[in-house]
Structures are given as C-alpha cells and as structure tokens.
C-alpha cells in the first residue's frame, strides 16, 4: 500500500520529555515516513512557560507556540494530541475535553482516573510510555498476548529505586548517600517520595494489571511498601545468603479470580533474571497460560526512551485512523470486564519474609521466643550492630507485625519478601 497521509500533531508540555518528543519526530520523520507511509507534522506546542524557552532550533520549526490550551482543544486540524504535561489537573482537563486521539505518559492520572477517562470514550488513548519507558509492554499485553490467560505480571518498574539499590549493593553505600547521588545526577526528584515509597511503581502496576486481568484495578487496594527504610545491613545480609534486593511490583490471579497486587522490596536468588537488572533499567515478566514466561527489558525512563514510546503510539493511532474511525482495539485491551475478580489483602498472604528492626527495651531472644510462641517459623535469626534480623517462613505481614507489637511497639521495621 503506497497511500501516504500527513497527521498533524499537537504537543501539550515542553519539559524534558516534551522536548525529546519534538526532537524525535523532527529528526526521525523520514525514517518513520519510509517505514509507515505516515508523516507526522507538529503544528502546535503548548506550555505555560513557552515564552521562557530561548534559542531552541526545534521549537523554532513549529508553527504555533502557545500558552493557551484552547489553541489545541479548538483546532479542528489537529489529528493527534500528545500529552506530556505532568501533574493531574491540566492533563485531565485536556484528556477529558479533547475529541481527538490522545497519547499520554501520565501514569498517575491513568492509575487514579482510568474508569472516568475511558467511560463512553469514542476516540483512542494510547499510553505505552506510561510504563517502563521504551519497553513495549502495553502493546504486548493488549495485542501480542491477547490469546493467553495472564497468570501474573511482575518486575522492576522504577528506575530510581533500582539505581539506588544497585549502587548500595555494588558499592556498599548507605541509602542516604546513594539517594543524594541519584538526585545530583537527575535520577531522583528533589522530593523523591513517589519513587522511594513505591507509589510510582504502584501506578505502573495498576495499569499493567488492569490490562492483564481485564478489569480496572483500584489503586487503594494495592499493597505498597517502598525502600525508604532500607539500610546497608539489609543489603549485606541478603548478599551473604545469595540474594539481591530489588523493589518488585507483582500482580497474580488464581483459578478462582483471587488477585494479590503489591509492591514490596524483594530478595531474589542471584540466578533470577531480575536480580541482574541494574541501575535505571526496567524489566517485566508476564506469565501466560500458553506462552509461559515472557521477559521484557529496557530503558525505563529518560527523555529519549520515553519519546520513542510516545512517537510509536502516535504512529499506531495514525495507522488505526487509516483503517477505521472506530476504536480498533479497546483502550484497556478488553471489551468485557472480568467482574469476578476479588482483590485480596496481601498483608494476609502467607509468604517467606525477611524483617529487620531494633529495640532498646527488649533483647533479641525475647522476639525470637515471641515468634515461636505465635507459631511463626523462624528459619534464620541474627543480631548484628543492634539490629535484629529474622527470616520468617509461612507467615503473613499482619501476623508478623501483631506479634512484634505484643512485645513492643516499633515504628521502623524493614520488611522484604523472599521470592522462591
């Protein structure tokens, strides 16, 4: 088919990702056109701070530079809108009011407002860049693995946390030292809360599990525990036992449609593929009943990888538009919801856990005895540098924390799951 078409693009947002998206479209347009027969032409760029941008040769090529969102919303010539604003309010207004196809990387908005955004929507929304940068995990779940019953999705979804954990492990550095280094190098925000507390990871897991299990997951039902409380002693303890600690996001469904969905520091055996994923890279394993284990790996953040996914989505929407004005594929990959899903509380799920805490009021043996009396199997215990460390088998978080609190109320408890 030699038919070519030009699609006019509006880009809302001209920060780090917005700038790289403009560059990718302009620099790679010839490659895109030769491969697809589609030409992307950026007509409009919106930013509240557009007048502060100086000496930008890419922006100079754009016809309309505006601070008024209505210049996008009311322009009938625009075919596709790329939303890279960040934040929630303006982005949500744009997505809800736009009658055009949308590309977005806004994971927080999607995870918290999926139901509202997709309800009765007639135009498509593509969001590959919302999870794992350039890694094509959304398309894989919606299209490539559509014949599989997805049993679980798990992986490393936050480059900031993985960068921190990798540096702690390889260089024997304390958490606060590595966090400052990550901030200095631009891998972590000045306020790193969303990253180190696992919230960013949970947003991404919410998106993946919603597609995988054919129902919109509730962010409020995801168990979230980040790496804020990790210490070098935890890294050393894990290494001595042949484990590597990673922040793992996981969602699994059983034959009765029970779903556990959680984010938690996890000890992985050193022969586990995810234990080899270092620094700012992401990796995701999707387990299907037909395809088995499928591993996706790549750059999970940064302007260039994210722009790759964004522009790919724009091309997909353009291709779809050449075929039909209807939704070629449902926005979340399913036409009918699985209404039988029951999200279970991960805190009640029996697993093997590593815990570490300290006490000034009770000795090590007091807690060891307390676990045994409450029928929690202590597989290994150790006291080192005023830290009490335990590996507890076939126990759940609620029972573990209740047992500790019967002896003493302790605030700073580090908990990691041990993945078999």
Known catalytic residues are 204
The residues, ordered by sequence, that sit 6+ positions from 106 with a Cβ below 8 Å of its Cβ are: 83, 85, 86, 88, 91, 95, 127, 130
Show the CA angle centred on residue 113, arms to residues 71 and 136, nearest 5°.
85
How is residue 293 written in tokens?
């284990």
Q: Indicate the SS3 state at residue 268.
A: strand
How is residue 172 written in tokens?
């024997």
Contact predicate 179/309, CB 8 Å: no
How is residue 68 written in tokens?
């008024």
Q: Indicate the SS3 state at residue 48.
A: coil
Contact predicate 355/400, CB 8 Å: yes
Contact predicate 118/332, CB 8 Å: yes
Show the CA angle centred on residue 158, arms to residues 344 and 206, nearest 5°.
35
Q: Which residues face 258 on adjacent strands?
A: 342
Return d(Cα 68, Cα 199) in angstroms, integer. 31
Around Cβ 355, how many Cβ atoms within 10 Å?
A: 21
How is residue 101 written in tokens?
């196809």
Dihedral sign, Cα of residue 327, residue 332, residue 333, residue 338:
negative
Place of tokens 């992985």: 268
Return d(Cα 260, Cα 397) in angstroms, integer. 14
Contact predicate 145/243, CB 8 Å: no
Return d(Cα 320, Cα 334) in angstroms, integer. 17
């Amino acid at each position: 088919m030699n038919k070519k078409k030009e699609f006019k693009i509006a880009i809302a947002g001209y920060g780090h990702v917005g700038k790289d998206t403009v560059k990718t479209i302009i620099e790679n347009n010839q490659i895109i056109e030769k491969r697809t027969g589609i030409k992307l032409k950026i007509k409009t760029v919106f930013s509240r701070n557009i007048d502060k941008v100086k000496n930008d040769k890419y922006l100079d090529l754009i016809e309309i530079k505006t601070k008024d969102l209505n210049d996008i919303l009311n322009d009938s010539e625009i075919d596709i809108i790329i939303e890279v604003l960040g934040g929630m309010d303006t982005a949500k207004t744009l997505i809800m009011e736009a009658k055009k196809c949308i590309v977005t990387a806004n994971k927080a908005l999607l995870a918290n407002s999926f139901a509202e955004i997709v309800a009765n929507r007639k135009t498509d929304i593509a969001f590959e860049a919302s999870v794992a940068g350039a890694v094509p995990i959304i398309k894989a779940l919606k299209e490539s693995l559509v014949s599989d019953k997805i049993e679980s999705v798990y992986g490393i979804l936050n480059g900031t946390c993985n960068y921190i954990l990798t540096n702690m492990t390889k260089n024997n550095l304390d958490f606060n030292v590595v966090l400052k280094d990550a901030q200095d190098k631009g891998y972590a925000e000045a306020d790193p809360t969303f990253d180190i507390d696992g919230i960013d990871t949970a947003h991404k897991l919410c998106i993946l599990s919603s597609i995988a299990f054919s129902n919109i997951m509730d962010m409020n039902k995801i168990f979230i525990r980040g790496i804020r409380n990790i210490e070098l002693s935890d890294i050393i303890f894990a290494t001595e036992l042949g484990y590597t600690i990673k922040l793992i996001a996981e969602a699994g469904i059983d034959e009765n449609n029970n779903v556990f969905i959680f984010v938690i520091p996890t000890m992985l055996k050193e022969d586990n593929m995810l234990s080899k994923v270092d620094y700012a890279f992401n990796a995701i394993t999707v387990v299907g009943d037909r395809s088995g284990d499928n591993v996706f790996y790549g750059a999970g953040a940064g302007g260039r990888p994210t722009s790759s996914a964004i522009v790919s989505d724009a091309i997909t929407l353009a291709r779809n538009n050449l075929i039909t004005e209807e939704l070629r594929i449902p926005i979340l990959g399913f036409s009918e919801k699985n209404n039988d899903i029951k999200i279970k509380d991960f805190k009640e799920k029996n697993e093997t856990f590593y815990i570490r805490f300290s006490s000034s009021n009770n000795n090590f043996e007091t807690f060891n005895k307390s676990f045994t009396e409450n029928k929690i199997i202590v597989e290994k215990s150790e006291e080192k540098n005023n830290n009490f460390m335990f590996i507890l088998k076939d126990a759940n978080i609620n029972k573990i924390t209740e047992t500790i609190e019967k002896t003493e109320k302790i605030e700073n408890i580090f908990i990691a799951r041990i993945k078999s």
